[in-house]
Amino acid sequence: MISNVYSYYAAQYANKSNSRNDSHKPGDLKKIYNRMVDINRTSPLYKVDLSTDMQKLAIDIKENAMELKDFSDILEDAASDKTVIKQKAESSNEKEVAARFIATEPQEMELYTVEVEQLATPQRNLGYYLHPDAPILEPGEYSFDVKISDVTYELQFGVAADDTARDIQERIHRLMNKSDIGLTSTILKDSMGNQALAITSEATGTYGKPTLFEVMDNTDVYRNRVVDKLGIGQIAAYPENAIYLLDGEEKTSPTNQVTIGKSVELKFRVASGEPVNISIVEDTDALMKDIENFMEGYNRMIDFAMASAEKFSGGGRLLSEFSRMTASYSGELEENGFTIAEDGKISIDESHRELFKDREHVTKVLEQLEDFKKSVARKTDRLISNPVEYLDKKVVAYKDPSKSFNSPYNASTYAGIMFDSSY
C-alpha cells in the first residue's frame, strides 16, 4: 500500500517548484503544531478508511490547498506592499532592439536611448564554385586544419574512386556541421548549377583580431591540399563589431547582445540608426498574473472538489464548503470587478481587466476583499493541517467535553500515510 502512495505522490507532485511555504522558521513550526493539537483536542476518536484511494485523496487535498495558500500569500503581500515591485524593460521598437530586465533587485525607473549603427557580423569563408560532376581529388584519406583562437582542429574524411566535387563538398559540409566547433557550413549554387562551400562562424565581432577562424591545409603535397582545391580558406567577409549610440555616446560590442547597468539586456536586431527608447517600468503584467494565479488556484480547488464529490463523500463536503464561501462573498467580489460562475469559479470581469494592472487599484480591491482572503487563508490552513478530516471514517468514541486533553498522536495520521501503513 505504502509503495502505491509514494509512487502516486512522486508522479503527481514531486516535480513541483518549491515555494516559501515549503520551509519554516522554528516559530512557524510551533504554530503549525499547536494548530494540529488544537484540531485534535476536541476531535472524536475515529477509525479512518486508509485504502489507497483515501490516501490519494488526502494527498490531493493537502497539495491543492498548499498551492492555493501560496497564491493567497502573494496577494496578501501585494495588498500590504510587502512584495517586491516587479519590473520589466520595454523597447519602443522591439523589431530593432529587444529589451529584457535581468536585475534581481528593484532599479530606478530609467530611460535610455539606443541607436544601432551597425550589427555585429560573423566571419564568412566562401570556396570556389565547382562543377558538381568534376573529379577534384584522387581516392584516399584526406585531412585539413581549422584554427579557432588558439585551438586547432583536424578534420578527416575519405574519398572514393567515383566521388565528384558534389560528393566531396557535401561530405565536408556534413563533417563541419557535426564537428560542433563553432562553425556552420552551407552549400551554395550559382545560376550555372555550380556549387561552393560557405563556412560561417557562430561568433561575431573581432575581439582584437581581424579573423575568428582559419581553414588551412596541413600538407605541402599539392594533390592532397583540400583547402586550396576547394577554395574554402578564402575570406569572403571579415567579422565586424556592433556600433551603437547609448544616450548619444558611441560604443562597440563584439556581439549583438549588450547589458546596460547590469539591469537591462539588449538584443540588436536591425541597424537602422534610428533612436529606440528603452525604459525600466513596473511590470503590471506580473501584478495581473498574481491575481490570475490566485483565481486559477481557487478554481482548481473547486474542480478537484467537484471531481472528488463523484467518488467520495468528503469531496462533496469540500465542494459545499467552497461553494458557500464563494456565495458568501459574491457581492463583494462582483463589486470589485470579478465574475462568479454558476459552479462557484471566479474570473476577472473583462471590463475591469485594465484596472487590475494598476497597483493602487489592486491594493484598494484587496483591502476591500480582506474578509474573503481571511476565509480562504483559514480554510487552506485547516486543509493543510488536517486533510484526513475529509476521508471516510467512523466515530469510535466522543471525548468528554468536561475533560478536554491534548492528543498529539492523532495529528500523525497524514504522516502515517506517507511513512508507515501499519501504525
Residue 115 contacts residue 273 (beta carbons within 8 Å): yes
Grouping H, G, I as helix, E, B as strand and the rest as coil, residue 59 is helix
Stretch (H or E) spanning 196: strand 195-201
Average pLDDT over residues 378-402: 73
Average pLDDT over residues 7-17: 62
CB pairs under 8 A, 24+ apart, for 187-192? 188/126, 188/129, 190/129, 192/129
- Residue 112 corresponds to which amino acid? Y
- Roughly what angle, to the nearest 10 degrees, separates helices 52-80 and 359-368? 120
Residue 2 contacts residue 372 (beta carbons within 8 Å): no
Model confidence at 417: pLDDT above 80? no
- pTM of the predicted model, to two decimals? 0.63
* Phi, psi for residue 204 in degrees, rounded to 5: -125, 170
The whole-angstrom separation of Cα 260 and Cα 268 is 13
Burial 220-231 (b: 16+ CB within 10 A, else e): eeeebbbbebbb
115 vs 282: which has the higher pLDDT: 115
* Phi, psi for residue 207 in degrees, rounded to 5: 50, 35
Average pLDDT over residues 10-23: 60
Alpha carbons within 13 A on the beta-carbon side of 355:
14
pLDDT band at 420; cut points 50, 70, 90:
very low
Length of the chain measured in residues: 423
pLDDT for 354-379, tens place per residue?
887 777 787 788 888 888 888 888 88
Lowest mean pLDDT among 77-81, 220-224, 345-349: 77-81
pLDDT for 173-194, tens place per residue?
999 999 999 999 999 999 999 9
pLDDT band at 239; cut points 50, 70, 90:
very high
DSSP code for 18: P
Grouping H, G, I as helix, E, B as strand and the rest as coil, residue 353 is coil
pLDDT band at 231; cut points 50, 70, 90:
very high
Question: What are 51's three cell numbers?
Answer: 485504502
pLDDT for 241-270, tens place per residue?
999 999 999 999 999 999 998 899 999 999
Residue 366 contacts residue 73 (beta carbons within 8 Å): no
Q: What is the rounded average pLDDT for all residues in the chain?
A: 83
Burial class of residue 257, CB neighbours in 10 A (0-12, 13-18, 19+):
middle
Q: Residue 294 CB: number of other CB atoms within 10 A?
A: 23
The whole-angstrom separation of Cα 259 and Cα 320 is 53
368 vs 20: which has the higher pLDDT: 368
CATH classification number, 124-237, choose in 3.40.50, 2.20.25, 2.60.40, 3.40.1520: 2.60.40
The whole-angstrom separation of Cα 184 and Cα 208 is 22
pLDDT band at 10; cut points 50, 70, 90:
low
Residue 8 contacts residue 56 (beta carbons within 8 Å): yes
Stretch (H or E) spanning 13: helix 2-13
pLDDT for 271-308, tens place per residue?
999 999 999 988 877 777 888 888 888 899 899 889 88
The whole-angstrom separation of Cα 344 and Cα 138 is 79
Residue 387 contacts residue 61 (beta carbons within 8 Å): yes
Model confidence at 35: pLDDT above 80? no
Domain parsing of the chain, residue ranges:
2-84+285-419, 87-120+241-282, 124-237
pLDDT for 52-79, tens place per residue?
777 777 788 888 888 888 887 776 665 5
The whole-angstrom separation of Cα 115 and Cα 249 is 10
In the sheet where 97-101 sits, what is the strand order? 97-101, 264-268, 257-260
Of all residues in the chain, what percent carry a pLDDT higher than 70? 79
Of all residues in the chain, what percent carry a pLDDT higher than 90? 43
pLDDT band at 237; cut points 50, 70, 90:
very high
The whole-angstrom separation of Cα 294 and Cα 287 is 11
Q: Which of 147, 167, 151 is nearest to 159 (CA)?
A: 167
Lowest mean pLDDT among 42-46, 164-168, 266-270, 406-410: 406-410
- What is the pLDDT at residue 405? 59
Q: How far is CA 311 from CA 91, 178, 307, in A?
A: 52, 55, 7
